[in-house]
């Protein structure tokens, strides 16, 4: 297929689709650092800055792909909803589809859009697709099942005027379970900026790589290694955790601070997830309806479809496939930066004051790291 990638970011969705045989005919991205990456990686593809200036889709476009901005929909963001300044830009996708209905549409966003304001954001999106004559299916998918050590759940919406999207999105289902916590044997990721109400704990993985704070400060996770060291991963390993080659975003440093690369990576679509989707678009399966269920009276299920007449819940997991992956501590290829004394002390203080329950031995490991970075000064250990 010929693809128009709107809100393309650093091209994660487009790179995955390309690995499945689809070609980018048009990219669109307004953020300067992301544009610098696209210009370096896709130098021959037209890339207008603002989706609002695109008069119409190219006539040869078969697929519109849009990971539209999530800042107004995420728990970490402003939660302004689908009417927010950024996330409301999905309306530009529908404007272009009104002028020319591309046969296929792929949209991606955070699962919180299914809950925010009672699910109004998701209802807005699928209702607009229905009004344009599309059948649709959506599903929450977890990057962790795709051979990458990152627990990252995203909702993918596939819509079509020429086929049943369920044959693309809902035919693959694999048995997948997240690994248990095993301190001293595996690495474990968490957010050192939290510690009172949340942690983002991930066993043998990192929690979801994020855009950063609401004021644009990067927020890399911390990793507790099996040997007890606490590090922040190198940006090149973060790129690899999204399925990109190391230094995919290095061109961003021509126009922005190096730390901006963390936000670019945190905003991206995981490449192997997009590749799986692209392969199913090229070779659909056959969804038989055996997973169909009644829609709940309130809220949205983790997967659903619209067959042209009615909305139907679908009982299916978050792992279409399960790909082998190395342990997190073996996946890392670049030396991480030790978590600083200030960051460690701040987290440790919040964790001891809060009411969160932590895996046995975790706070002891944090205290030991703090002792090391302070040069041996004793750190009181949290009471059991």
Q: What is the pLDDT of residues 46-71, one digit of tens each?
A: 999 999 999 999 999 999 999 887 45
Report the C-alpha gap between 266 and 220 in whole angstroms: 9
How far apart (Å, rounded) are the C-alpha atoms in residues 373 and 367?
10
At 195 the pLDDT is 87
Please indicate whether residue 70 is annotated as part of the active site.
yes
| Inter-residue contact 100 to 161 (CB < 8 Å) | no
Spatial separation of the C-alpha atoms in residues 166 and 100, rounded to whole Å: 23
The predicted pLDDT at position 188 comes to 98
pLDDT at position 85 is: 37
- pLDDT for res 69: 75
Which regions of the chain are under pLDDT 70? Answer: 70-88, 212-217, 377-384
Give the length of the chain. Answer: 384
* Residue 142 backbone phi and psi in degrees, to 5: -110, 120
Q: Where are the extended beta strands (E) located within the chain?
A: 2-6, 23-28, 63-66, 104-109, 135-142, 153-160, 188-190, 202-203, 222-224, 230-232, 292-293, 303-306, 311-314, 337-338
Question: Coil, strand or helix: which one is 113?
Answer: helix
DSSP annotation of 183? B
* Predicted pLDDT at 213: 52
pTM surpassing 0.75? yes
Give pLDDT, residue 254.
97
Catalytic residue among 13, 27, 70, 271: 70
Other C-beta atoms lying within 10 Å of the C-beta of residue 172: 17
Q: To which residue do tokens 């998918």 refer?
A: 141
Q: According to the model, what pLDDT value does residue 78 have? A: 47
The strand pairing partners of 108, in sequence order, are 156
Question: What is the rounded CA–CA span in Å between residue 260 and residue 30?
Answer: 15
Distance (Å, rounded) from C-alpha 92 to C-alpha 56? 11
Q: Looking at residue 227, what is its pLDDT?
A: 96
Sheet (strand 63-66) strand order: 23-28, 2-6, 63-66, 104-109, 153-160, 135-142, 303-306, 311-314, 292-293
Q: What homologous superfamily is domain 2-176+268-314 in, according to CATH?
A: Vaccinia Virus protein VP39 (3.40.50.150)
- Sign of the torsion angle spanned by Cα atoms 78, 79, 83, 86: positive
CA angle, corner 162, sides to 158 and 166, nearest 5?
40
Strand 104-109 to 63-66 pairing: parallel
Distances from the Cα of 348 to the Cα of 59, 207, 231, angstroms: 57, 19, 15
CB 204 within 8 A of CB 327: yes
- What residues have CB less than 8 Å from 384, skipping those under 6 apart? 360
């Amino acid at each position: 297929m010929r693809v128009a990638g709107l809100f393309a970011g650093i091209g994660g969705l487009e790179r995955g689709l390309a690995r499945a045989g689809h070609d980018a005919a048009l990219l669109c991205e307004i953020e300067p650092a992301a544009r610098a990456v696209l210009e370096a990686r896709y130098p021959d593809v037209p890339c207008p800055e603002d989706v609002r200036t695109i008069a119409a889709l190219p006539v040869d476009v078969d697929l519109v792909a849009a990971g539209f901005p999530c800042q107004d929909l995420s728990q970490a963001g402003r939660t302004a909803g689908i009417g927010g300044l950024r996330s409301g830009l999905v309306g530009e996708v529908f404007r272009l589809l009104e002028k020319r209905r591309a046969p296929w549409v792929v949209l991606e966003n955070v699962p919180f859009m299914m809950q925010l304001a009672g699910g109004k954001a998701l209802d807005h999106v699928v209702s607009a697709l229905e009004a344009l004559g599309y059948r649709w299916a959506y599903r929450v998918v977890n990057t962790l099942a795709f051979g990458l050590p990152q627990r990252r759940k995203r909702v993918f919406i596939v819509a079509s005027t020429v086929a049943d999207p369920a044959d693309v999105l809902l035919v693959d289902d694999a048995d997948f379970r997240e690994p248990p916590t095993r301190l001293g044997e595996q690495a474990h990721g968490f957010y050192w900026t939290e510690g009172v109400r949340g942690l983002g704990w991930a066993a043998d993985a990192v929690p979801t790589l994020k855009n950063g704070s609401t004021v644009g400060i990067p927020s890399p996770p911390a990793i507790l290694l099996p040997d007890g060291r606490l590090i922040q991963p190198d940006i090149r390993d973060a790129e690899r955790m999204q399925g990109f080659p190391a230094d995919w975003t290095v061109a961003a440093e021509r126009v922005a601070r190096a730390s901006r690369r963390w936000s670019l990576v945190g905003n991206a679509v995981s490449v192997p997830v997009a590749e799986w989707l692209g392969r199913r678009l090229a070779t659909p399966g056959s969804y038989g309806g055996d997973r169909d269920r009644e829609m709940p009276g309130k809220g949205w299920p983790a997967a659903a479809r619209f067959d042209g007449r009615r909305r139907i819940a679908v009982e299916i997991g978050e792992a279409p496939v399960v790909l082998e992956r190395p342990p997190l501590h073996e996946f890392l290829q670049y030396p991480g930066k030790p978590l600083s004394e200030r960051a460690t002390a701040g987290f440790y203080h919040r964790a001891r004051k809060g009411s969160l329950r932590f895996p046995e031995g975790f706070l002891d490991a944090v205290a030991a790291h703090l002792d090391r970075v302070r040069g041996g000064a004793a750190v009181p250990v949290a009471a059991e």
